[in-house]
Amino acid sequence: MRLAKQLGKGGISIKKMHAVFLGLALFWGITAPAYGKVLKDGYITRDLMVAIAHAYASFLWYPTTDNICHSSKCGKFVDTPDRDTYKGWPQSKGWKANEENIGVPYQWGGFSSLPDNYIPGFSFVHPKDFVDEYRNRKFCAGDKDWNAESGAWCACGVDCSGFVSRCWNLWQKQGGGDFLTNTSVAWPITYDQLRKGDVLARPGHVMLFISFMDPDKTKMLVAEASSRDWKVSERICDVVAISASSDAVTLKIDGHVETYELRTYNPIKFGLVWLRSRQNQNGSWLDNVGITSMIALAYINEGYKDDPVVTSAIQYILSKQKDDGSFGSVYETATAVWALVSTHNSAFHNSINAAKEWLLAVQCDESEGVGPEHPCYGGWRYGAGQVDGDLSNTQFALMALDAAYAELGLKKPSPEDPAGWAYKAIKFVSRCQNRPASNDQLWAQDQTRPSYNDGGFIYHPMGWSLAGGTKSYGSMTAAGIWSLRLCGVPEGDPRIQAALCWLRNNEDCAFDDNPGHPYGESHLLYDPCKGVSDVSELRHIKLSQMVRGFSKVVIEGTKG
């Protein structure tokens, strides 16, 4: 966790940092298909979003009549702010030729950028310089025809979605509908989650939220490119109503009442863009195999298999494999296997197999001088020679073995085979559960303990819980469920059902904390999501509830 805190400085908050490169990487599966995309969207923060919006609204430009008196060279005449008639010559209002004008003009379908470094130290990821377009290339400033909604080939400026796309420093212009329906672009949020840089969207229009103007949140400042004044402007809106579900707001703007849904920048992409700027030249993050592997996995599971960030990270990971097949500790070796497996590249099979064999060799069993009567028999600790296994290391090892066996086309041993790693691991995991019917340890039989027979799990089979004493807590309970399932235990097994009962009794289905843990923070939020999502027949705990809760933590864990 200390490494996560170091990585968290200045970008994603330390709070729930794992949601960026662990939960987001793994919740959708280690073996998810890799699509080979490259992440091209540029670096952005919430402060930069607002700075870009203000720069567009306050931009000074000096057009000639070629830029504002649209002619037949564009295929039509167009209405712009300089006109008060459809085909009239420029009047005194609106754009003025050879004089200073303020605000980038509205262009139907426009995606113009501001000049490079116009905002000090910032560059657009895919620039289309508005100044170069209107000044050197003689493009028309704006092309919106109120009577015929079609653009001119020689125009420049931005429309509403082009403006928001620029504020978010996206590689490509997104349509207005994308901000409403495409979760790879934007995620829905509630009114209480609304922060600077978020988006208000309705069919046909999107705006950027800047701030509330009063403590009661009855007025808000937004930025938009619209036909209200045919340019980018900042304006104050009155909040008329908030929807019952708090995911939409009705505003009064210039006398018009309009209802908008609330959206935020896809926090997975937000995290990946930020992490890209922190990668070392050797392909690692913090020169750590474990963190590098989890971040690489996050990119791959979002489809960015061919991104240079991933290829350099994979090469770094491979360079750290030792002669014994490990990549360091059990944690590091397991996460390296996850990353390599997720590429589905047969060139890495030898490395995956060697790591698999090392993990099997360091399982706490007869090969380590440990017999079935030992409390830690069947588990994993940090490395070779350590026989005091814990459920956290064990879960990581089991996930790696499950992924490796699937990738290599191997059949996992039966959970009924005493010689197999699965049988041994089941014995270990069962000894971490507060369930005397399946836990033969003395502490589990003690009826005076607060967590006696509650079905939850703890960190260590010798009666150690990070929640104190032998108290059950959320992340280890879900880790227990997931570990048993990885070993082939059916979901109807009493041990799994008892653990699910504990979650029902102790988790409010918000899934935004770590129930039972003294700190409350869910630094291992991934465990409940992955563990419970693997059980298909959930009558009381719904996957959709977990996704909403997990999304809430991810959204609120990002900052700019």
pLDDT per residue as tens digits for the range 449-469: 989 999 999 999 999 998 999
Q: Which residue has the higher pLDDT, 380 or 15?
A: 380
pLDDT in tens, 205-228: 999 999 999 999 999 999 999 988
In contact, 287 and 32? CB cutoff 8 Å: no
What rounded mean pLDDT belongs to the chain?
84
Element (H, E) at 220: strand 219-226
The closest alpha carbon to 344, from 427, 408, 410, 275, belongs to: 408
Q: How many CA atoms lie within 13 A of 436 on its CB side?
A: 11
d(CA 230, CA 83): 11
User: What DSSP assignment string belongs to 145-162?
Assistant: -SSS----TTEE-B-HHH
pLDDT at res. 148: 45
- 242's enclosing H/E stretch is strand 231-242
**Amino acid sitting at position 459:** Y
* Residues in contact with 40: Cβ distance below 8 Å, sequence separation at least 6, in sequence order: 125, 126, 171, 172
Inter-residue contact 129 to 113 (CB < 8 Å): yes
Angle at 462 between CA 459 and CA 466, to 5 degrees: 30
Place of tokens 């041990």: 495
3-state secondary structure of 202: strand
Spatial separation of the C-alpha atoms in residues 194 and 176, rounded to whole Å: 19
3 state DSSP class of 558: strand
**Rounded CA gap, 384 and 390, in Å?**
14
Over residues 540-545, mean pLDDT: 46
pLDDT of 386 higher than 80? yes
Q: Is the pLDDT of residue 339 over 70?
A: yes
Mapped onto helix, strand or coil, the DSSP state of residue 468 is: coil
139: which 2 tokens?
Answer: 């493009």
256-265 and 248-253 strand pairing: antiparallel
Burial classification of residue 433, based on how many CB atoms lie within 10 Å of its CB (0-12 exposed, 13-18 middle, 19 or more buried): buried
Strand partners, 141: 156
Token match 């699509």: residue?
A: 35
CATH code 1.50.10 for 2-41+277-557? yes
User: What percentage of the chain's residues is helix, strand, coil (to nearest 5)?
Assistant: 35, 15, 50
- Between 145 and 469, the higher pLDDT residue: 469
Residues composing the chain: 560
Most confident option among 79-93, 107-121, 137-151, 494-508: 107-121
Q: What span, in angstroms and rounded, lies between the C-alpha atoms of 419 and 340?
A: 28
**pLDDT, mean of residues 135-147:** 74
The DSSP call for residue 8 is T
Between CA 222 and CA 129 the distance in angstroms is 24
**pLDDT, position 275:** 93
Residue 115's pLDDT is: 95
CB 185 within 8 A of CB 199: no
pLDDT at 511: 45
* pLDDT value of position 62: 87
User: Nearest to residue 207, comparing CAs of 258, 135, 153?
Assistant: 258
Confidence of residue 528 (pLDDT cuts 50, 70, 90): very low
Tokens of 415: 């959970």
**Averaged pLDDT for residues 262-284:** 94
Distance of CA 254 to the CA centre of its chain: 36
The 10s digit of each residue's pLDDT in 470-481 is: 999 988 998 999
Q: 41 with 189: CB under 8 angstroms?
A: no
User: What pLDDT score does 69 carry?
Assistant: 60
Residue predicted with more confidence, 560 or 398:
398
With pLDDT > 70 as the criterion, what percentage of the chain qualifies?
A: 77
Statement: residue 254 has pLDDT above 90:
no
Q: How far is CA 267 from the centre of its chain?
A: 4
**Is the alpha carbon torsion for 403, 404, 410, 414 positive or negative?**
negative
Q: What is the pLDDT of residues 26-68, one digit of tens each?
A: 444 454 444 468 999 999 999 999 999 999 999 998 888 777 7
Please tell me the pTM assigned to this model.
0.83
Helices (H), 431-493: 442-445, 474-486
Higher pLDDT, 92 or 492: 492
Distance between CA atoms of residues 326 and 333, nearest Å: 5
Angle of the 330-342 helix axis to the 308-319 helix axis, nearest 10: 140
Instruction: Place 552 in a pLDDT band, splitting at 50, 70 and 90.
Output: low
CA-closest candidate to residue 143, choices 238, 68, 204, 216: 68
Run of H or E including 52: helix 46-58
DSSP string, 103-138: SPBB-TT-B-BPPTTSSTT---SS--BHHIIIIIS-
d(CA 150, CA 107): 10
Note the pLDDT of residue 478: 87
Q: E strand or H helix at 211, and its extent? A: strand 205-212
| pLDDT at residue 551, rounded to an integer | 62
**What percent of the chain has a predicted confidence (pLDDT) above 90?**
66
Where are any strands of DSSP class E within 244-325?
248-253, 256-265
Q: CA-CA distances (angstroms) from residue 166 to 136, 162, 315?
A: 22, 6, 33
pLDDT value at position 238?
98
Q: Which residues is 260 bridged to in the sheet?
A: 249
Q: What is the mean pLDDT of residues 373-377?
A: 97
Residue pLDDT, tens place only, 69-126: 655 544 444 444 544 443 444 443 456 677 788 899 998 899 999 999 999 999 999 9
Cα–Cα distance measured from residue 435 to residue 132, given in angstroms and rounded to the nearest whole number: 72
DSSP sequence for 374-429: STTTT-B-SSTT----BHHHHHHHHHHHHHHHHHHTPPPPPTT-TTSHHHHHHHHH
Q: pLDDT band at 516, cuts 50/70/90?
A: low
Amino acid at 503: L
Which of 65-74, 278-287, 334-343, 346-355 has the least mean pLDDT? 65-74
pLDDT at residue 163 above 70?
Answer: yes
* Residue position matching structure tokens 């990668």: 279
Identity of the highest mean pLDDT range in 139-143, 280-284, 500-504: 280-284
Dist CA 366 CA 328 (whole Å): 22
Residues of the chain with CATH 1.50.10: 2-41+277-557
Query: Residue 515's pLDDT is what?
Result: 59
Residues whose CB falls within 8 Å of the CB of residue 519, separated by 6 or more in sequence, listed in order: none
